[in-house]
Chains A and B, each alone.
Chain A
Amino acid sequence: MKTQREIYTGVEIGTSSIKVMLGEFLPGDSLSVLALGEAPSLKMCKSEAADTRVVGGQVAQALAAAERAAGFPITGPVFMSISGAFVETVNITGSVLINEPTGRIAESDLEEATRQTNLPEVPQGKFRLAQSVNRLFRLADGRVLFNPIGQCSRSLEVETQHFIAEWERANTTYCLLSEALGKLEVATVIYTPLAVSSAVFPPAASDESLNLVIDIGAGMTSIAMPTSVGHFHLGQVGIGCEHLANDLSIALDLPIQTARSLVSQMDSLHCTAVATKDNRARMVSINQDNLSKHRVIPASSIELVVELRMRELFELIRRQLDERGAYSWLGNRVFLSGGGARIPRISDLAATVFNRPVVVAQPYRITGRADFQPLPQYNTVIGLIRAGYRDLQVAQQVSQQASTLGSTVEWWKNAWKAITDW
């Protein structure tokens, strides 16, 4: 019956556009997209609202568009992504000595070690996001594993990542959505890199080599490197396609709107992210309506500006991964996501930096209306529904266990499962 359907809503308030997606889960972990509403953000900078009045209006428009497309109002749980330079990652390490005479690690040892990684205190003016992820386990001999159960060691160390956000800046974005939703509440807030990872990689993937997804948004670029029981790396850099538009605007003396159009229409202009140094052999003609001024710009100039910026972005990501010890774990494939993944030959450019094949990320097990195309810019909002759904399930299990059993050990066991599930 229609009333028994569980429909989930994901809302991404991005720098370029606001996306609202309604979806439900089908047997076999498939996500069926029921509706998508989208509206330009207009006044956002690096995932933060520059003009809350304008952005608030756009959020309401995107919600209304999604409801129109679905044919029914939003009622179910709403998940929201959080993104920006004000979110930081804190790694906490916990360790236990293994009491078993053989030194064999049991699940209870993981629970105890994970309990020690609880964030002791959140600085004033900040708050901790609900999700925490296991990064790695380290044995007494220094070996790093993602699932140490059954291994023999004198001690076990676990590293857990917590995400801390500045309260006021996060609350500004949160209020934009909660005001537009009216009586409905936001069920959970998900860190954007976690959402992207949830859309692209099915749970419990192999640990033999780690995948990497890079989501190039308009304002921020998200990076995620999942393991079978957590994430080796989750983070963001404050560089995105808006930087490309800004570079083109300054280099070619174009209005910023024209430069933004250039970035989004690179394919039709036959420009790529890998610059061909042919000087003025290929010219791009641009008509600027507002200035009534006709411009002819070398395609090689556009390509050179784009290549310089994107190569620099990939090199920055590689350097960060290297410093966090993540690059050496990288498998044989890198995935690109977000609106930036649609720039022609961006994969070829990324491959020269990461020395691996690079492909555009596709969401796994997704179905939906015939008019829905799973473009890479929708990965975040798709992942929001998946991650939010998982978050709700884990929270329900933990609360049920805590109330029925009332046992500290059982509660911790479930809390630990909540962490490892990420």
Chain B
Amino acid sequence: MLLIGVGNAGGRAAYYVYQRGSLPGLRIGAMDSDEAALQQLSGLNTVLLPAPEEAPDETGDAADERHSVLYSALDAQFPTIHLLLVVTGLGGRAGCYYTLETLRYARSKKLACAAIVAMPHSFDSPELHSRAETGLRQLREITPAVQLLPCQEFGALFLDKTREEAYPQAARWLAESSIGFLYPFAKFPPPKRVSGKGARKEDPNQLQFVFSDQPRGIFTGGLPSNYYGQNFDIPTFQRRNVNIDPGE
């Protein structure tokens, strides 16, 4: 499986999934035309794309250049995946344009693909809303598997916060939705058979959704101790999925 975060919000969402420890068999990447935004996603595979024009001329040289950069990045991944999920904020110029192009290309390669898109917030400009509406129509023509996160419908929820807080929250929402979407397709190792009194009675097909980040406890407010793409403030046993018996 491949999860690609496109644009600023998509990139952040992909980074959240990456920080949480991903899922078995899932590759994560981010694409954007904003170099500074990509640089913040340390440890993640990123692709810097040319900035799209406001009204892209699909037949011009500039479009060819954009497509060639995008296609070569996708060609490196497509032969080894079965499912592509694109996450993005559809109001952004790069997010909207490259999400559509990525999914068109994936369909042309007969790849199963889906998209989870966050619509603009109620306080965003009409231009963003208009771009997102147009993009959504085009997106649904490419694939029926489009999951929508209507941020504008949750105005009261987001308006209690500043814009600086609302955008990361939407990205987090995208990330959690992505994990939920991909979870049934993840290839988990077969459950260990536990016998005896302490055996847990669980349906092996039962889905488990985790809607919170792994805790960082007392280090939450400070700068993270990041080394080699890992946040060492997250307990080691959590990052390595080691089960600890808490006693009675």
Contacts and interface: CB of A to CB of B under 8 A. Distances in A.
Given A249-B217, A253-B246, A301-B247, A308 B240 contact: yes
A92 interface: no
Interface in A289-317: 295-298, 300-301, 304-305, 308-309, 312, 316
A56 B244 CA distance: 38
Contact of A309 (B215, B236, B247): B236
A246 B216 CA distance: 8
Given A45-B221, A305-B244, A237 B227 contact: yes
B227 A256 contact: no
Report whether over half of chain A's contact residues are helix, strand or loop; otherwise say mixed. helix
Interface string B195-236: 000000000000000000001111101110101100011011
B236 to A, nearest CB: 4
A252 B219 CA distance: 17
A247 B245 contact: no
Contacts of A305: 235-237, 244
Interface in A166-201: none
A247 B227 CA distance: 18
Contact of A246 (B219, B227, B244): B219
A295 B244 CA distance: 15
Interface in A23-69: 45-46, 48, 50
B242 interface: yes
A242 interface: yes
Nearest to A311: B236
Contacts of B217: 246, 249-250, 256
Nearest to A319: B228
A256 B247 CA distance: 17
Interface string A234-253: 00011100110111011111
Given A239-B225, A239-B232, A304-B237, A246 B218 contact: yes
B218 A298 contact: no
Nearest to A310: B236
B248 interface: yes
B222 A46 contact: yes
Nearest to B246: A252
Nearest to A297: B247
Nearest to B239: A312
B219 A301 contact: no
Contacts of A308: 236-237, 240, 242
A243 B246 contact: no
Interface centre among B217, B222, B228 (most CB of A within 10 A): B217
Contacts of A312: 232, 236
B238 interface: yes
Contacts of A48: 222
Interface residues of A, number: 35
Interface centre among B216, B237, B248 (most CB of A within 10 A): B237
A308 B240 CA distance: 9
A279 interface: yes
Nearest to B215: A250
Contacts of B236: 247, 305, 308-309, 312
A239 B240 CA distance: 17
A280 interface: yes
A45 B222 contact: yes
Interface centre among A256, A283, A296, A304 (most CB of B within 10 A): A304
Nearest to B240: A308
Contacts of B238: 250
A29 to B, nearest CB: 37
Interface of B: 215-219, 221-223, 225, 227-228, 232-233, 235-238, 240, 242, 244-248
22 contacts: A45-B221, A46-B222, A48-B222, A50-B221, A50-B222, A238-B223, A239-B232, A243-B235, A246-B218, A249-B217, A252-B246, A252-B247, A256-B218, A280-B245, A280-B247, A295-B247, A301-B246, A301-B247, A305-B237, A308-B236, A312-B232, A316-B227
Given A251-B235, A295-B248, A296-B247, 8 more contacts: A50-B221, A246-B219, A251-B246, A279-B245, A297-B246, A304-B244, A305-B244, A308-B236
